[in-house]
Amino acid sequence: MNKPNYKLAEGLVPANYVRQAVESRNTRENLVKTVLSQRRLPVGGWDDATIKLFLQDLSLMDSNNFNEYSGAGEREGRIESSLVRDMHNGMGHGIGRSGDISAHQPKAAGSSLMSKLTQYFMLEILKLSGATRTKSCYVFPLATGMAVVMCLLALKAKNPTATHVVWPRIDQKTCLKAIVATGFIPVVIENITEDNDKGPHTTDELRTDLPAIEDAIKRAGGPEKVLCVLSTTSCFAPRAFDKVSEIAVMCERLGIAHVVNNAYGVTSSLIMHHVNEAMRLGRVDAYVQSTDKNFLVPVGGSVIAGPDKHLKVADVCKTYPGRASGTPTLDVFITLLSMGSNGYKHRLLQRKEIYEILKQKMSEVAAKHGERLLHTPHNPISLAITITPRRRASSQTEVGDRDAQEPESTSGTWDTVGNGMEALDTRQVEPDSHTDIDTASSSTRHELEKHKALHASHSGGVQEVPIDTITSFSMLVAVSDETENASSHTPTKSHRERKEKLATNEGSSISKTSAQHSAARSAPRPINPHPDSDATDVTRLGAMLFRRGVSGARVVSADDVKVVAGVSFKGYGAHADAYFTPYLTVAAALGMTRKDVEQVVERIDKTLTEYFDS
């Protein structure tokens, strides 16, 4: 009611009662006034009654909710079901117009106002999270993969001669499919391990191969042929976030666009700091994030943001064909009003604390089962523990006999020295050269061929994939392995001893190199911790966890071969051709609680016991 109506109400009920109601209503109205005047997210979250009041006012501003209104168009916001109407708060017109998703709708002033306020709120949240150099953003009614497609299409309009997208490998289908869907040729850059300031073999994480990216850009034809580098921040361990700052500097120097897939990176202050540094130091055309992972809303939306230098977010908005659903925007609008800026800050701090708790408890569970937590300091969201594959059935004794024999010797690929194994010395094999194999002895040549078939990388850092054709710069590498003396142990004892060796982090690096960049790589690691283990068996652990009600945890065998969008990957799921161990990975995502951690870790503990004892 307005002021005159309240005055009339005083003739029906005592005036002091009415004045109390007016004061309460004014308090809510003042909150709305502050938001409209300041165009900022409220510091404290609103209660549901205030949000509903505001939504009702916005809904009544849309023409489909006008009294005495006659619509004669093909789209008049008519809604048959009252349940659907209530779910959308009576807002049936969506957002945007046919030529620009960010344009205001003549028939939907309320929906347009809601969308505009959401963009202001989102820009504030991105800056609050650490990306202070962000100049504009827009909430799209598309999930992350399709938002990446929109960015690529907007860049394509500016560089119509481009044919390639350089993409540091991440074993998640969305990005690759986004590249292929827009008609570009993906150039896959293999990840590498590297030493840190504490010495060699001190991390287990996979990082960006910067020289390979620059080499790939030059090989593909430079700025005329390369549309952009599509980097990734948030991902599952042991992959770390890409070196986005260094990539940004490189892209600025080479005149190449740079799009960052920041799917759930908003929840990490470390990741957002690196995204911000990338915008400060070099070139970032846009960075994309999911609404559901970062803001606890249903799946369906994403945020495209950027510094508005080379590519403006407005250009991406104009690329979108037609108007769009306003539901993902409305979800974010309601949620941010409910949390307020302080509420979102609290969620971010809570997630960081939960990560440390999860890390500690997963480390304890791993040690209990003779495994260890992988050291991945540049992944602040996800973590992983090693999983030693059980013995192959052929290496077990009869049922009921718990003793199993270790093999006395392994294939001739290895020369046994004392209790350990020494890898054969191998050399680079150029794509058109067979000198090393041709000049090797017959037995050595046989083993090299055998080893190449099993474990050779498909790329010396780069894999260019013209949709259905895979072209690779092959590299023959020997991957070292270790075994114990031939002796009889129970499976549990053998398992523990192998993991004690693994815990020392001996021989810990993926060997996936090109000659000119070999100094940046570490020495080879074993693909599997034991020669007679069966890496494929660990995937059964994932099914066991799911049956126990654990979702989101991933068990990676590190030796799967998979074709995605015409691209063949070895070790799919592990983000590398030959990661040194199978593993189980989990994530401390926004909204996870201490109770969730305790329940998940308890179930993982029980499942590991069942798995190793079976």
Q: Is 50 helix (H, G, I), strand (E, B) or coil?
A: helix
Instruction: Report the C-alpha gap between 313 and 226 in whole angstroms.
Output: 21
Give CA–CA dist 295/482, Å, rounded: 46
Closest CA to 252 of 231, 274, 223: 223
Residue given tokens 């398992």 in the structure block: 495
Give the integer Cα–Cα distance in Å for 238 and 585. 8
Inter-residue contact 221 to 164 (CB < 8 Å):
yes
How many Å apart are CA 303 and CA 143, to the nearest integer? 9
Strand partners, 391: 533
**Considering only CA atoms, which of 28, 31, 55 is closest in space to residue 113?**
55
Determine whether the annotation assigns residue 402 to a binding site.
Answer: no
Consult the annotation and say whether 372 binds a ligand: no
d(CA 183, CA 568) in angstroms, rounded, equals: 18
119 is in an annotated binding site: no
- What is the C-alpha separation between 80 and 511, in angstroms, rounded? 61
Residue 278's alpha-carbon distances to 8, 73, 206, 272, 397, in angstroms, are 61, 47, 20, 10, 57
* Residue 476 exposed, middle or buried by CB count within 10 Å (0-12, 13-18, 19+): middle
Enclosing H/E stretch for 451: helix 442-455
Cβ pair 286, 316 in contact under 8 A: yes
Report how far residue 531's alpha carbon sits from residue 481's, in angstroms, rounded to the nearest whole number: 7
Cβ 521 vs Cβ 511: under 8 Å: yes
For residues 129 and 275, what is the distance between their CA atoms, to the nearest angstrom?
11
Give the span between the Cα atoms of 336 and 314, in whole angstroms. Answer: 23
Backbone angle region of 145, left / alpha / beta, with phi > 0 → left and psi within -120 to 50 → alpha: alpha
- Residue 175, SS3 per DSSP: helix
Using alpha carbons, list the distances in angstroms from residue 383 to 43, 194, 237, 314, 366. Answer: 33, 18, 5, 37, 12
CB count within 10 Å of CB 73 equals 8
Judge if the upstream peptide bond of residue 238 is cis by omega within 30 degrees of 0.
Answer: yes
Report the DSSP beta bridge partners of residue 165: 186, 228
- Say which residues have a Cβ less than 8 Å from residue 507's Cβ, sequence separation at least 6: 201, 480, 482, 523, 524, 525, 526, 580
Is 105 annotated to bind ligand?
A: yes
Q: Which two tokens stand for residue 266?
A: 């908003």
Compute the CA torsion angle 263, 549, 332, 380 (nearest 10 deg).
-40
Q: Using CB atoms within 10 A of its CB, is residue 196 exposed (0-12), middle (13-18) or buried (19+)?
A: middle
The tokens of 462 are what?
């780069």
For residues 138 and 316, the answer to whether their CB atoms sit within 8 Å is yes
Contact 236, 576 (CB under 8 A): no
289 is in an annotated binding site: no
**Binding residue per annotation — 75?**
yes
Binding residues for substrate: 97-98, 105, 323
Binding residues: 75, 97-98, 105, 280, 323
Binding residues for pyridoxal 5'-phosphate: 75
Binding residues for tRNA: 280
